Structure 1
Amino acid sequence: MSTTVKESALGSTQNTGKDFWSEQYVMAERWQSDLKFDKDELRFLKKLIDKYFLWLIDEKHLESTQQVASRLSHFERNTLATETKVTKHMHHLVAFIENPSLPDASACENEHNTVKKALADLQMELRAVKKEVFQIAEQAIDSSKAQRLLSST
């Protein structure tokens, strides 16, 4: 496979050959797999909230539970939007793999970087919301244990 090297308007060298686009495509496939895993984690976190919801229903936990449920919904919407961006980007990459000399290669590279940033932001959001879910679940478990200890004495 031959690779072409192209000078961008900014003077940096960009590799725009078939190998380059294939590598970008493989990365995008990895992103799709990561998003699928994130969706599985989201499903688990929602079940966790549902499982402990009865414990969290008291006023002390209700507001934080509603906030984290809202954040989970927001994360879900962002995940679906990012998934759509990745799929669209993969279609663009296929076009460049099939014809590396297509015009507007820099737009596809920009799109790649934009999607990459969106995924990084999504991972940060997921970590933050997971931390909140686990803290609330832990509080609920501790609260439940305390109530059982108090009622057994």
Structure 2
Amino acid sequence: MENLSLRPKGDYSYTAEYQQLYVLTEHWKSDLEFYKDDLRFLHHLIDKYFVWFAHKEHLDEMRNLAARLSEISKKCDGLLEKTSKHLHHLAELIDDPFKYDSHKFRTEHEELENEMASFVKKFREIKKETFSASEQVIENEVKRITS
């Protein structure tokens, strides 16, 4: 799995202090909130503007794109919820280091990180596809109007 740029290489999840993991997890949450706003914009782009541009030859592509955007939006919401719970658990661990099994918790932290990396990769792909499809549809429509 990809490493997120905010995490140092190596076994950081297993050697970092809880406070350091907390700061890293706060960054993830902030990033997810940004991605959620970005996804809202992409949905808006598809839902509102493609109705004007999409001809029959683009409808299936737009429906597929909209379905994939909905799927990744749900994944984002799920990750936001998981990240919030993780932050809560980290706060409890900072207050009482013996509250949870440290190794199990750190393994869960690494799994969350891997989910984040996978999500970011998929998000970038769908964003690129959405902008590419938008550009293509708009260019075709401009050509059609000016011809």
Structure 1 residue corresponding to 2:88, chosen from 77, 88, 91: 91
For the structure 1 residues 103 and 88, does the alpha-carbon distance in structure 2 shift closer, same or farther, using more than 3 Å as the test?
Answer: closer
One-letter identity of the residue aligned with 1:54: W
Over alpha carbons, which structure has the higher Rg?
1
Structure 1 residues 1-153: aligned runs within 5 Å:
14-15=14-15, 20-49=17-46, 50-56=48-54, 58-150=55-147
TM-score w.r.t. length of structure 2 = 0.85
> Once the two structures are superposed, what CA deviation does each residue of 1:104-151 show, in whole Å capped at 9, x if it has no partner?
10111011111111111110111111111111111111111111121x
Matched with 1:7 is: none
Deviation at 1:87, TM superposition (A): 1.0
Q: Which has the higher contact order (CA 8 A, sep 6+)?
A: 2
Whole-angstrom CA distance in 1 between matches of 2:19 and 2:51: 46
Deviation at 1:103, TM superposition (A): 4.7
SS state at 1:100 partner:
coil
Deviation at 1:15, TM superposition (A): 3.7
One-letter identity of the residue aligned with 1:38: Y
> Once the two structures are superposed, what CA deviation does each residue of 1:7-42 show, in whole Å capped at 9, x if it has no partner?
xxxxxxx547xxx00000111111110010001100
Whole-angstrom CA distance in 2 between matches of 1:130 and 1:15: 35
For the structure 1 residues 74 and 87, does the alpha-carbon distance in structure 2 shift closer, same or farther, using more than 3 Å as the test?
Answer: same
Instruction: Let me know the Cα RMSD of the aligned residues.
Output: 1.3
Deviation at 1:52, TM superposition (A): 2.6
The answer for unaligned runs of 5 or more in structure 1 is: 1-13
